[in-house]
Chains A and B, each alone.
Chain A
Amino acid sequence: MTLLDDIASPQAEPDSPRAIDPGRAPSDRVFQNVARVTGLSVLVLTGSIGLFLGYQSIPTLHRYGLSFFTQSQWQPELDKIGISAVLLGTLEVAAVALVVAFPLALLTALFISEYAPARLKSLLVSMVDLMAAVPSIVYGLWALKLLEPNIIYLSRWLHRYLGWVPFFRVDTDPQAAAWAQSRYTASAFIAGVAVAMMVMPLACAVMRGVFSAAPIGEREAAYALGATRWGMIRSVVLPFGRGGIIGGTMLALGRALGETVAVLLIVSPAFDIKFRILEVGTQTVSALIAGGFGEATSSQLSALLTAGFVLFLITLAVNTVAAIFVNRSRSGAATEI
């Protein structure tokens, strides 16, 4: 019928090419729409958290203004609320964690990808993954009960011999015969070491992945030119894996900034602006939230949410930078057949 119409009507375009794309089958349209709705709902759900946090922080920021970032005390009953000390504590714990975790992660990753015997490799890889899967509370327990009683000696040693460095100062006499052990416990340093245990496997897994991807031809070329194994690593593996090293470290940093339970277990809360990481007492944003949400009024809850929002923005920035580095370092990952 339509054919006849086309022939009959002279104004029809004579030779229009047939549309090759047959269009989607109805089942596909359903499928695509269902998938789209799922994606959209996840977008709304996850996006709403960010928007919600941002929205909730408006009244707090409106009320306290810039002093929210400069005030160190967190005393809602006196209407003194600020996150400078808490943010500093968060950064200190994360910095200690990175200083401990970075060399360990790098060395372990190098060991697994370059030094370990081939038949042990997959076992070691799963060990690292397992380490990443161990719940943070278990690391918290380990740090609280096993690490803390031992590491305070290291703290005292650092204080005694490196006390002239401002970070390692503690308000007590390191030479005293009966030394004040309690001054060294519950510090940012110990919490940082516990957090380091948690983030180390994460960084290690990323680094190992990139190291193993270092092109075999270049490795062989380095050996052929007479390089020792370390010479090969330094001239091939490390430059190739630089993106992964930076990216993995940043991922670990992002995780370290948000870690809650280990810090909550270990540190005793203190709201001073201080750089003495070996000394008792500090506080981080997430531990502050975990400790303070229970008896919070709605305005205090808003303040806690604001602190959380600031933390989220920091971790988001760190993770984004990490993603950029990790993605840039990925090469030849095509798996087409």
Chain B
Amino acid sequence: MSTIVIRPDHDTDATSPPPLDPRTSVKADLPRDVPRVLRRRTRDDVLSLVCSATGALALVWLVFEQMLAWSGNLGFIVCWYVTFLALYAGVTALSHPRPVIIDRLASAAVHGGAAVAGCALVSTVLYTFIEGRSALRHLNFYTQNMAGVGPQAPLTQGGVFHAIVGSFIEVGIAVCIALPLGIGTAVFMTEVGGRLARLVRTVVEAMTALPDILAGLFIYTTLIIGLGFQRSGFAAAMALTVMMLPIIARSAEVSLRIVPGGLREAGMALGASQWQTVRRIVLPTAKAGLATALILGVARAVGETAPVLITSGASTFTNFNPFQNPMNSLPLFVLTAVRSGETLFIARGFGAASVLLTLVLALFVTTRFLARDRMNRR
């Protein structure tokens, strides 16, 4: 009676008796009714995992490298993983029933899949910065533009200042148009409502499916071909607006919709008009959500290449005027630089991609910060 048997939950349906942890079964003066620690790893769990992995590694190394003399890291890792799964299943089958084997295999598969996804993300970010570091090292990369820089010019000449400026101007204009319209639409959809609001919501949701390139082509056909505008920063900003508007409107609507209805009713019950309720209660409550919507929209717009490619034209000089002359932007610079095929330009392209990635990262961290702020306040 005094022995408390602590069984790991994996073994609840095991036919063989679970391995007892000697420390817990011997000690008689354990406090009663301690909640069982769920998901505890037993020595069996850890050892069969580690030993299967090591055994598979050794086996595959022997067969793959020494006997068959194959090559390729990818093949090696895949073979290792498959052998590991087989060994792991075999080792588990020695002392456990089928559900446990399946559970462990599923766990290994899930971890493997997540690891692949993680590696892909890390390699993408790292590779961009590593390839871009030769360009990023030079200060002129941030302060000069590409005017008069020849295809063979060393990295100490030229930079992406014009593209950074262009990106900021284009996204700035797009935000100035898309933000009020998007939030206004979201307010209309959630606060005013009615049949028209349902129609607007349907159309806005439909337009989030618009491929980015079509936003550019629409602006190109109407503004540039139809109305005779130049290919300019303004046209690019309009294309970004068209692309961003449904995104912002939709995510803003989501964050307005989760404002509790009780808050609105409380405001109304205190005699506030609807406008006062929206301005003093609904919007401030949803502030963090709205900021997140905005920043995610901006992060998307900053990195968007397709609409800009069609509408802005790639300049090599710094252009502060969005209405005249082509204006470059970071994604467009990356695309043209890489497609040029010149080694030094490709390095610059990677440098510009690193700058772009840094911008997106910064925006992203800001978003997380705001989101955490909101969570803490609740």
List residues of chain A with CB under 8 Å of any chain B CB.
24-25, 27-28, 30-32, 34-36, 38-43, 45-47, 49-50, 52-53, 56, 103-108, 110-112, 114-116, 126-127, 129-131, 133-139, 141-142, 144-146, 150, 153-154, 157, 197, 200, 204, 223, 226-231, 233, 254, 257-261, 264-265, 286, 289-290, 293, 298, 301, 304-305, 308, 311-312, 315-316, 318-320, 323, 335-337
Q: Are B184 and A34 in contact (CB under 8 A)?
A: yes
A-contacting 9-mer, from B59-67, B133-141, B212-220: B212-220
Q: Are B110 and A135 in contact (CB under 8 A)?
A: no
Q: Are A137 and B331 in contact (CB under 8 A)?
A: yes
- Known contacts A25-B273, A258-B211, A312-B210, A139 near B124 by CB under 8 Å: yes
Q: Are A229 and B331 in contact (CB under 8 A)?
A: no
CB of B5 closer than 8 Å to a CB of A: no
- CB contacts (< 8 Å) of A130 on chain B: these are 121, 361, 364
Give the nearest-CB partner of A228 in chain B: B103
In-complex Cβ contact of B222 among A52, A229, A258 (8 A): A52
In-complex Cβ contact of B114 among A38, A43, A111, A260 (8 A): A111
Q: Which residues of B, 211-270, contact A by the 8 Å Cβ criterion? A: 211-215, 217-218, 220-222, 225, 242, 245-246, 249, 258, 260-263
What are 7 A-B interface contacts by the 8 Å CB criterion? A40-B200, A46-B204, A137-B331, A141-B334, A154-B74, A298-B225, A305-B221
Q: Are A144 and B217 in contact (CB under 8 A)?
A: no
Q: Are B331 and A293 in contact (CB under 8 A)?
A: no
Q: Are B116 and A104 in contact (CB under 8 A)?
A: yes
CB of B296 closer than 8 Å to a CB of A: yes
A230 to B339, CA, bound (A): 47
In-complex Cβ contact of B9 among A197, A204, A223, A261 (8 A): A223
- Known contacts A50-B207, A127-B121, A301-B225, A260 near B200 by CB under 8 Å: no
What 12 additional pairs, Cβ within 8 angstroms, besides A38-B188, A298-B225, A301-B225? A126-B364, A133-B296, A135-B360, A233-B106, A259-B211, A260-B212, A289-B214, A290-B309, A293-B217, A311-B211, A315-B210, A320-B206
- CB contacts (< 8 Å) of B107 on chain A: these are 115, 229-230
- CB contacts (< 8 Å) of B349 on chain A: these are 141
Q: Are A27 and B110 in contact (CB under 8 A)?
A: no
In-complex Cβ contact of B125 among A30, A52, A108, A134 (8 A): A134
- CB contacts (< 8 Å) of B220 on chain A: these are 293
In-complex Cβ contact of B72 among A49, A116, A153, A301 (8 A): A153
- CB contacts (< 8 Å) of A108 on chain B: these are 113-114, 117
List residues of chain B with CB under 8 Å of any chain A CB.
9-10, 12-13, 38-39, 72, 74-75, 99-100, 102-103, 106-107, 109-114, 116-118, 120-121, 123-125, 127-128, 131, 180-182, 184-185, 187-189, 191-192, 196-197, 199-200, 203-215, 217-218, 220-222, 225, 242, 245-246, 249, 258, 260-263, 273-276, 278, 296, 299-300, 302-306, 309-310, 331, 334-335, 338-339, 346, 349-350, 353, 356-357, 360-361, 363-364, 368
Q: Are A39 and B211 in contact (CB under 8 A)?
A: no
- Please give the distance in Å from B154's CB to the nearest CB on chain A: 21
In-complex Cβ contact of B211 among A24, A286, A293, A323 (8 A): A286
Q: Are A46 and B214 in contact (CB under 8 A)?
A: no
- CB contacts (< 8 Å) of A131 on chain B: these are 117, 121
- CB contacts (< 8 Å) of B111 on chain A: these are 111, 115
Q: Are A107 and B310 in contact (CB under 8 A)?
A: no
Q: Are B350 and A141 in contact (CB under 8 A)?
A: yes
Q: Are B356 and A138 in contact (CB under 8 A)?
A: yes
Q: Are B302 and A135 in contact (CB under 8 A)?
A: yes
Q: Are B360 and A231 in contact (CB under 8 A)?
A: no
Q: Are A323 and B124 in contact (CB under 8 A)?
A: no
Q: Are B113 and A138 in contact (CB under 8 A)?
A: no
Give the nearest-CB partner of A293 in chain B: B310
- CB contacts (< 8 Å) of A24 on chain B: these are 273-274
- CB contacts (< 8 Å) of A145 on chain B: these are 127, 131, 346
- Please give the distance in Å from A303's CB to the nearest CB on chain B: 12
- Known contacts A228-B100, A319-B209, A142 near B306 by CB under 8 Å: no
A31 to B283, CA, bound (A): 14
Chain B contact residues, majority secondary structure: helix
Q: Are A231 and B103 in contact (CB under 8 A)?
A: yes
Give the nearest-CB partner of B208 in chain A: A319
- CB contacts (< 8 Å) of B123 on chain A: these are 142, 146
A57 to B55, CA, bound (A): 63
A257 to B213, CA, bound (A): 11
Give the nearest-CB partner of B210 in chain A: A312
Q: Are B306 and A228 in contact (CB under 8 A)?
A: no
- CB contacts (< 8 Å) of A304 on chain B: these are 217
Q: Are A133 and B300 in contact (CB under 8 A)?
A: yes
- CB contacts (< 8 Å) of B182 on chain A: these are 42
Q: Are B203 and A43 in contact (CB under 8 A)?
A: yes
- CB contacts (< 8 Å) of A153 on chain B: these are 72, 74-75
In-complex Cβ contact of B10 among A228, A298, A337 (8 A): A228
Q: Are B338 and A42 in contact (CB under 8 A)?
A: no
Q: Are B212 and A135 in contact (CB under 8 A)?
A: no
- Please give the distance in Å from B211's CB to the nearest CB on chain A: 3
Give the nearest-CB partner of A115 in chain B: B110
- Please give the distance in Å from B314's CB to the nearest CB on chain A: 12
A259 to B275, CA, bound (A): 41
Q: Are A35 and B192 in contact (CB under 8 A)?
A: yes
- CB contacts (< 8 Å) of A319 on chain B: these are 205-206, 208-209
Give the nearest-CB partner of A311 in chain B: B211
B114, B220, B276: residue with the most chain A Cβ atoms closer than 10 Å = B114
A260 to B361, CA, bound (A): 22
Q: Are B310 and A134 in contact (CB under 8 A)?
A: no
In-complex Cβ contact of A43 among B200, B215, B306, B310 (8 A): B200
In-complex Cβ contact of A35 among B116, B191, B273, B360 (8 A): B191
- Please give the distance in Å from A322's CB to the nearest CB on chain B: 9
Q: Are B260 and A200 in contact (CB under 8 A)?
A: no
- CB contacts (< 8 Å) of A157 on chain B: these are 75
- Please give the distance in Å from B293's CB to the nearest CB on chain A: 13
- Please give the distance in Å from B234's CB to the nearest CB on chain A: 16
A174 to B202, CA, bound (A): 51
- CB contacts (< 8 Å) of B305 on chain A: these are 135-137, 260-261
- CB contacts (< 8 Å) of A323 on chain B: these are 205
- CB contacts (< 8 Å) of A311 on chain B: these are 211, 214
A150 to B246, CA, bound (A): 38
- Known contacts A32-B274, A229-B103, A290 near B120 by CB under 8 Å: no
